[in-house]
Structure 1
Amino acid sequence: MSIFIDLEMNTTDARLVHKKDLRNEVIEIGAVRMDDTFHPLDRFRIFVRPQYNGVIERKIYKLTGISNGAVSDAVSLPEALDALEAWCGSDGCEIYAWSTSDLCQLRKECGFKGIDSVFLDEMVQWHDFQEDFRQMLGEKNILSLSNAMHRAGLEPEGCLHDASWDAYNSARLMETAHSPNFAADVAKAQAACYQEAPRMQGGLPLDVMKKLAALLQSSQPEPAMAV
């Protein structure tokens, strides 16, 4: 069983906890269950009540759309992890995430709050798909999720920085990246683009990225909707 997971976080209140001890707290967990070809099957979403900040910071609200009301009556982090564990099932699973930051956040927050999580300790193996995808492209620079999707000829669905949608879009990217012709299509599209413009520091120029995305999109099947 493969699961793609994504977290959204709120910053802690420095009056309640030292920032170097715990800078952020999880306020939303999103996940997508995938089949053996990484096709999205179903989705999980739960809000989490923060312990060390009574309000969602304005910059976090603007980024995620998560309001104070969404988390004021939400479950605690242990309850949210128990719900996620139950949703994942008892057969074990492999977890994929975009970078290692979410895993690091969970480990640090659980350690700080004294939370024992079977989900973290026993059930799962974690994989950094951001790094895997970077290597697939032969890219030296770190890619954001939206940038990576454009490089694969995909358009993000739903809202960015929504944990459920980010997990779903990441699963779509995984499915596309593991399709039989993806590597060959990328190579052909990049070769066509590089004939018109050279690689620049920080990644491909925007106009070349758009052309690369268009070339890839024309060669990829339409992604399936989540169940």
Structure 2
Amino acid sequence: MDYIILDIEFNGRKFASEHPMEVIEIGAVRLDSSLQYKDEFSSLIKPIYFSTLNSFIKKKTGIPQEDIDIAARFPKVITAFQTWLDQSEDGVLLLTWGGEDMKRIIQDIRMHKMDDSYWMAATYFDLLKGVLRARGLSNDISVEGAMALLGLEPSGSAHRALDDAKMTAEIFRAIFSDLDFGRSQHYKDTFSNARERKTVKVAIKAMTSQKIVPTWELVVEHYFTDKATLADPRKVAELQEYFAAQVGRR
């Protein structure tokens, strides 16, 4: 099995919009089962929305606007990337820094009305969480922060997909023996956001401090003032499951 260290960059916006942010760059490194470098993949993508990069994204990534203007669209790039992934005859394990990369790729696949089954079936390992568990840390750290923690020397340009993938590969090599690959996973759709989950957590803490037995009904009645946020039954089911898990920890 090969290890694919994956990184993406996506465009941003300075204002509220119904249009999604999109992947604008994919970078990946392939390591063999002995953690030796085999090859790499890199491509820019011209997005449908916000194709003119704002100043923040240009400064953060250093991607020239003229390179984005002539880049291929997402369907062509993701198809080429999947073909590249399939060159690993014995399968692959994807490694990402956090869960956002998988989410963004699947979001764009769906936006372009492409079949998402390849990516929903893909097995990936969240290396960020792996590093946190291995080092007993509770707060997220950046790739650069992990490099410093492990005494590794950063190289390339931060926030360019291929360079970030290469640095992440070095982290992976350095901490490989401490990783629990039993925590590899498949992407799972989420319907609630971090703010909504925090509301549930705060509600449970407040009720417990007042010696009130927390119930889902009380959370909805007193802490979700905008009931429209709970219109989606998939979100409600997800938050109820989160509520039960949080109460079970107490």
Give the TM-score normalised by structure 2: 0.65
| Aligned residue number for residue 197 of structure 2 | none
1:12, 1:25 → 2: CA distance?
10
Tell me if 1:56 matches 2:33.
Answer: no
Q: Contact 1:40/1:172 (CA < 8 Å) preserved in 2?
A: no
Structure 1 residue 107, shift from structure 2 partner: 1.8
Matches within 5 A, 1:115-126: 115-117=114-116, 119-122=118-121, 124-126=122-124
| Aligned residue number for residue 76 of structure 1 | 73
2:173 alignment partner, one of 175, 182, 187: 175
Relative to structure 2, which stretch is displaced further, 155-164 or 86-95?
86-95
| Aligned residue number for residue 3 of structure 2 | 2
Tell me if 1:18 matches 2:18.
Answer: yes
Q: Contact 2:110/2:116 (CA < 8 Å) preserved in 1?
A: no
Q: Supply the AA of the counterpart residue of 1:154.
A: L
2:117, 2:44 → 1: CA distance?
20
2:38, 2:153 → 1: CA distance?
19
Matches within 5 A, 1:91-106: 91=89, 92-106=91-105
Q: Contact 1:13/1:53 (CA < 8 Å) preserved in 2?
A: no
Counterparts in 2 of 1:116 and 1:13: CA distance versus 1, 3 Å: farther
Percent identity over the alignment is: 27
Structure 1 residue 144, shift from structure 2 partner: 0.8
1:118, 1:144 → 2: CA distance?
30
1:130, 1:35 → 2: CA distance?
21
Q: Deviations over 1:165-215 (max 9, x none)?
A: 1001101110011258x9xxxxxxxxxxxxxxxxxxxxxxxxxxxxxxxxx
Q: Supply the AA of the counterpart residue of 1:64.
A: T
Which structure has greater helix proportion?
2
Q: Supply the AA of the counterpart residue of 2:154.
A: P
RMSD of Structure 2 on Structure 1 (CA)? 2.2
| Aligned residue number for residue 208 of structure 1 | none
Matches within 5 A, 1:60-209: 60-89=57-86, 91=89, 92-117=91-116, 119-122=118-121, 124-178=122-176
Q: Deviations over 1:94-130 (max 9, x none)?
A: 11000001111112222233222454134x2111000
Larger RCO (CA under 8 A, 6+ residues apart): 1
2:43 alignment partner, one of 33, 38, 46: 46
Q: Supply the AA of the counterpart residue of 1:8.
A: E
1:174, 1:139 → 2: CA distance?
17
Q: Supply the AA of the counterpart residue of 1:5.
A: L
Count of residues paired in the alignment: 176
2:110, 2:13 → 1: CA distance?
16
| Aligned residue number for residue 220 of structure 1 | none
Q: Deviations over 1:64-83 (max 9, x none)?
A: 01121111111111111111
Counterparts in 2 of 1:119 and 1:30: CA distance versus 1, 3 Å: farther
Q: Which has the larger radius of gyration?
A: 2
Q: Supply the AA of the counterpart residue of 1:85.
A: Q
Q: Supply the AA of the counterpart residue of 2:115.
A: D
Q: Contact 1:28/1:48 (CA < 8 Å) preserved in 2?
A: yes
Q: Contact 1:97/1:128 (CA < 8 Å) preserved in 2?
A: yes
Q: Supply the AA of the counterpart residue of 1:78.
A: P
| Aligned residue number for residue 245 of structure 2 | none
2:25, 2:48 → 1: CA distance?
13
1:5, 1:81 → 2: CA distance?
13
Structure 1 residue 39, shift from structure 2 partner: 3.2
Q: Contact 1:13/1:52 (CA < 8 Å) preserved in 2?
A: no
